[in-house]
Amino acid sequence: MNFWTKVAGIILRNRYLVLLIIAIITGLLASQIKYMKFSYTEANLLPENHEVNLEYNKFLEIFGEEGNLVILGIKDSSVFSPKKFNAWNHLIDNFEDLEEVDFTLSIADVQKLKADRSKRKFVLEPLFDEDPKTTEEVLAIKKQLFEKLPFYDNLLFNKNTGTLQTAIYIKKELINTPVRRDFIFNKLIPVVEKFEKENNVDVRISGMPYIRTLNSQNIQDEILLFVLGALLITAVIFFFFFRSYRATFITLLVVLIGVTWAFGFIGWFRYEITVLSALIPPLIIVIGVPNAVFLINKYQQEIKKHGNQAKSLQRVITKIGNATLMTNITTAAGFATFVFVKSDLLREFGILASINIISIFILALLLIPIIYSFMPLPKKKHLNHLERKWIENVVDWMEKTVREHRIGIYFTSVIIIIIGIIGVYQIRVSGSLIEDMPKSMGFYKDIKFFENEFGGIMPLEILIDTKKEKGVMKLSTLKKMEKINEAIETFPELSKPISVVNLVKYSKQAYYQGNPKYYQLPTSQEQNYIFAYTKNSSNDSGMLKSFVDSTGRYARITTFMKDIGTDKMDDIQERIQTVIDKEFDKEKYTVSLTGKALVFIKGTNYLITNLVFSLSLAIVLISIFMAWMFRSPQMILISLIPNILPLLITAGLMGFFDIPIKPSTILVFSIAFGISVDDTIHFLAKYRQELIAHNWRIKPSVFAALRETGVSMFYTSIVLFFGFLVFTLSSFGGTIALGGLVSITLLFAMVSNLLLLPSLLLTFEKKIANKKIFKEPAIEIIPAEDEKIED
C-alpha cells in the first residue's frame, strides 16, 4: 500500500472529522478578516536600508511628510466676475478650521510684503481688505496679482492662462492614517461638489493625498469585482465543459472557502491591501478551478469505467493527488521566489500567494472526494462530456500535427524566438507613479490638468545641508541654490521651483517699493540692509519654516514633476546633479535629490534587477524539482524549452505593444512560468507511465500521453485563460496588462506543451528513452494503472 493509498483511506474514513477541521480553520481565518486594512501610502519598492530610502527618511525627519498638499484649481474666465471671484475665495473658509487641516493658502490670503522705512523692517499687508463688488475691482486685483507679485506665480495662479489655484495642507501626522480618507470623502468632495453646482463651474482637485485616497478606494472596489468576475467566468466555463450543476457547485464551494482563507491570511499577517495583494483572492479562484477539473474529471472517468463510487474516490486521491501536489508546488515556487526579493511589497505578495496556492490544493483534495461521497453516482448525461466529439477532434489535430509536421513546429518556434527577441529590445521601463491609474476616472484627468497648468503634482525635493547653523541664509549659498532653480526651469517636465530663494527675491522686490523688476537675489552690497530688515521682521518666520529648518542649517527646493518615465527622470537627475557638483563643494555641503516620485522611480529600477533574479531563481528551482522528480538531466532541458518559449513571446509582445516593465507587469513572467510548468509535469508523468506500459517504445508512449492528458490540459488552460482575463476588467493599466499578458502566455504555453514538448520527445527519443537515463523517479507521480487499490 503506497502513501497516497493510505492518505485516501484516512480522508474517506474520517470524512466528518476532516469537514469539522476545515470548518474550524475557516471560522478562525474568517475572524481575522476584520484586521485587513488598506494601504494609505504608496508601496515602497526599495529595501529600508537602501541609500535612496535613507535620504528620503532624512528629508522627512527634517521637513516632515512632503505629500500633504491638496490643490483645487479653476480655469474659467467667468471666475473674474465679483460673485464667482468672492465665492472662490470663500470656498477655503470651509476647510480653514477643520482639525485635519494644517493651513490653507488662497488668493484671499495673499499678503504683499512691504518695507517699513521708519522701523527698518518688512511688514505684510493683505492684497485686498474686503470683497470686491465690481468687475473693475476684481480686474484690478487680478492685474496686481499677475503683474506685480511674481512670488505667487505658479503657486496660486498661472498668469498665462488665468487659472487660479488654492492649496490645502493636511496635518502631516494624519496624512498616512484613515483620517485622510474621511476628510477627502466626507468633507472635501461634498463641499467642492456643492460649490460647483451653486456657481456652475468645474473645480479640479488633485495632490498626492487626494490621488492616493481615490486610488485606494478603487483598489477596494475592484477586489469584489475580481472575485465575482473570476467566480462567474470560471463557473460558466466549468459548466460548459462538464454540463453538471453538481460539479460546478462543488468547485465554487471549494474556491469560495479558498477565498475566505486568502482574506483571512491577509488579516492574520496584518498585511495592508495593495494593488498586488488585492489580486490574491481572484488568483486563488483561477488556480483552484484547474485542481477541481483534474479531480472531477478523474472521478467521472473512473465511474464510467467501473461504476464503483468507493473505488473511484480512492483512485481520484491516489492517482491525481500526487500529480496535483507537484503542479501546485511548482506554481507556488514561481510565486515563492518573490520572498527572496528585498522589496516588502513583492515579499508579502509571494508569501500570501504561495501559502494560498498550497491551501487551495489541500481544500480541493479533501473536499471534492468527501462531498462526492455523500452524493449519488453521476448520471450518464454528466459523463457525456468525456466522449464529446469536438474535443476529440482537437486532440486528433494535435496528434496529427506532431506526427506529420514536426519540422513545421520547429520552424515556427524558431521564427517566434527571433520575433520575440526583436520585441524584447523594444521594451521600456516605466517608473511613473500615476501611469497605472484609471485613465477614465475624473481624478486622472485632473492630474493632467494640473500638469498642463502648473507643471505636475508629484513632489521632487532637493535637500541642502550647509553643515553650519544659519548657513542657508548666506548669500553664497542662496546664489548656488538659484543655479539649481535655473536648471529646474529649463525642464518642461518640472514646475517652477519653490524655496527660500523665492522669499529672499521677494524681500528685495519689497525693499524697492514692490517693483517686480527687482524680484531677484540681492547683491553683496544690498544683502546687509535687506537682511537687516528681514531680521527685524517677525512675519516671515512662518513663511520661512516651510523652506528652512529651525536651525538654518537645512534648506529644501521643491518642484513638481509631470508623469514621466525612468529614462527622462534619469536625464533630469543627471543634469541637475551636474549643476550640484559644479556649484556645491562636497566638503562644505551635502546636496541630495529625493521625494516620493524619485523613490518610486528608483524602486521600479530596483525591481527590474530583482525580476531577473526571481525569474532565474524560479527556473533553477523548478529545474531542480524536475530533475528530482524524473531523475533525468536530459528531461530538464526538454521540459524547460516549451515553457521558456511562451515567456519570450510575452516579452516580445510587451515590446511591440509598448507595454512597459513596471511593478505590476513584472509579475507576469514568474506567475506564467510557475503555472505553465504544471502542464509539462502532467504530460511527462503520464509519458513515463506509458513508456513502462509500452516497453520503452517512444512513439506509442508519446501519443498515448498526448491523448490522455490533452483534454485535461486543454480544459485547465481555457479556464486559466479566461480566469486571468477577468483582470482586464480593472481600471488600473498595470492590472489590465497583467491579466492580458498572463492569459496569452498560458495559451501559448498550452500549445507549446501539446505540440513542441511531444515533438522534442520524439526527436530526442534515442537519447532519453532508455532505462539507464530515465531512471525510477523519486516520486511516483501517477501510480500504475494495475495497482491494487482497496475498496
- Of 35, 43, 453, nearest to 212 (Cα)? 43
> 37-38 and 272-273 as β-strands: parallel, antiparallel, unpaired?
parallel
What angle is formed at CA 165 by the lines to CA 160 and CA 166, rounded to 5 degrees? Answer: 160
CATH code that applies to domain 3-42+213-425+600-768: 1.20.1640.10
In Å, how far are 45, 99, 176, 584, 705 from 609, measured between CA atoms?
12, 44, 29, 32, 39
Here the cell at position 95 is 476647510
User: What is the Cα–Cα distance from 294 to 121, expressed in whole angstroms?
Assistant: 84
Residue 787 predicted with pLDDT over 50: no
Read off the DSSP letter of residue 491.
-
Quick one: pLDDT at residue 789? 36
Q: Tell me: the pLDDT tens digits for 723-740? A: 888 888 887 777 888 889
- Of 491, 508, 484, nearest to 557 (Cα)? 484
> 157-158 and 121-126 as β-strands: parallel, antiparallel, unpaired?
unpaired
User: What is the Cα–Cα distance from 609 to 611, expressed in whole angstroms?
Assistant: 5
Q: What number of other Cβ atoms are within 10 A of residue 320's Cβ?
A: 26
Q: Tell me: the pLDDT tens digits for 258-272? A: 999 999 999 999 888
What number of residues does the chain have?
Answer: 791
Here the cell at position 595 is 521625494
What angle is formed at CA 103 by the lines to CA 146 and CA 547, rounded to 5 degrees? Answer: 70
What is the DSSP annotation of 20-44? HHHHHHHHHHHTTGGG-EE--S---
Q: Tell me: the pLDDT tens digits for 635-673? A: 777 888 898 899 898 899 999 988 888 766 777 887 788
Question: What residues contact 555, with CB distance under 8 A and at least 6 apart?
Answer: 463, 464, 466, 472, 477, 481, 499, 500, 547, 548, 549
Which H/E stretch holds residue 130?
none
> 111-116 and 458-465 as β-strands: parallel, antiparallel, unpaired?
unpaired
Out of 239-253, 432-446, 534-548, pick the least confident. Answer: 534-548
Domain residue ranges of the chain, discontinuous segments joined by +: 3-42+213-425+600-768
pTM for this one?
0.77
User: What is the Cα–Cα distance from 328 to 322, expressed in whole angstroms?
Assistant: 10
Q: What number of other Cβ atoms are within 10 A of residue 217's Cβ?
A: 14
Q: What number of other Cβ atoms are within 10 A of residue 202's Cβ?
A: 12
* Stretch 781-786: mean pLDDT: 50
Quick one: pLDDT at residue 216? 79
User: What is the Cα–Cα distance from 16 to 10, expressed in whole angstroms?
Assistant: 11
Q: What number of other Cβ atoms are within 10 A of residue 532's Cβ?
A: 12
Beta bridge partners of 73: 165, 204
> For the chain, how are helix, strand and coil distributed in percent, rounded to 5?
65, 10, 25
> 121-126 and 458-465 as β-strands: parallel, antiparallel, unpaired?
unpaired
Q: Are 479 and 485 in contact (CB under 8 A)?
A: no
In Å, how far are 77, 238, 685 from 718, measured between CA atoms?
56, 10, 21
Q: Tell me: the pLDDT tens digits for 746-777? A: 899 999 999 999 998 888 766 655 555 554 55
> Over the range 281-304, which residues count as b (16 or more CB within 10 Å of their CB) and which as e?
bbbbbbbbbbbbbbbbbbbbbbbb
Which H/E stretch holds residue 460?
strand 458-465
Name the range with the highest mean pLDDT among 120-124, 182-186, 210-214, 244-248.
Answer: 182-186
Residue 698 predicted with pLDDT over 70: yes
- Of 53, 58, 47, nearest to 598 (Cα)? 53
Here the cell at position 545 is 519654516
In Å, how far are 309, 312, 380, 444 from 304, measured between CA atoms?
10, 9, 8, 57
Residue 456 predicted with pLDDT over 70: yes
Q: Tell me: the pLDDT tens digits for 700-720? A: 888 888 887 887 788 888 888
More confident residue, 633 or 223: 223
* Stretch 450-459: mean pLDDT: 85
User: What is the Cα–Cα distance from 698 to 761, expressed in whole angstroms?
Assistant: 8
**What angle do the packed helices 344-373 and 15-30 form, to 10 degrees?**
150
What angle is formed at CA 685 by the lines to CA 251 and CA 724, rounded to 5 degrees? Answer: 40
Q: Tell me: the pLDDT tens digits for 280-336? A: 888 888 888 888 888 888 888 888 888 888 888 888 888 778 778 888 888 888 788
Here the cell at position 413 is 518556434
Quick one: pLDDT at residue 790? 37
Quick one: pLDDT at residue 265? 95
Here the cell at position 542 is 512662518
Residue 148 predicted with pLDDT over 70: yes
More confident residue, 157 or 326: 157
Quick one: pLDDT at residue 780? 53
> Over the range 73-94, which residues count as b (16 or more CB within 10 Å of their CB) and which as e?
bbbbeebbbeebbbbbbebbeb
In degrees to the nearest 10, what's the CA dihedral of 78, 80, 86, 89? 100
In Å, how far are 176, 263, 351, 599, 766 from 277, measured between CA atoms?
19, 10, 10, 21, 47
Q: Tell me: the pLDDT tens digits for 403-421? A: 888 999 999 999 999 999 9
Residue 791 predicted with pLDDT over 80: no
Quick one: pLDDT at residue 393? 84
Q: What number of other Cβ atoms are within 10 A of residue 59's Cβ?
A: 21
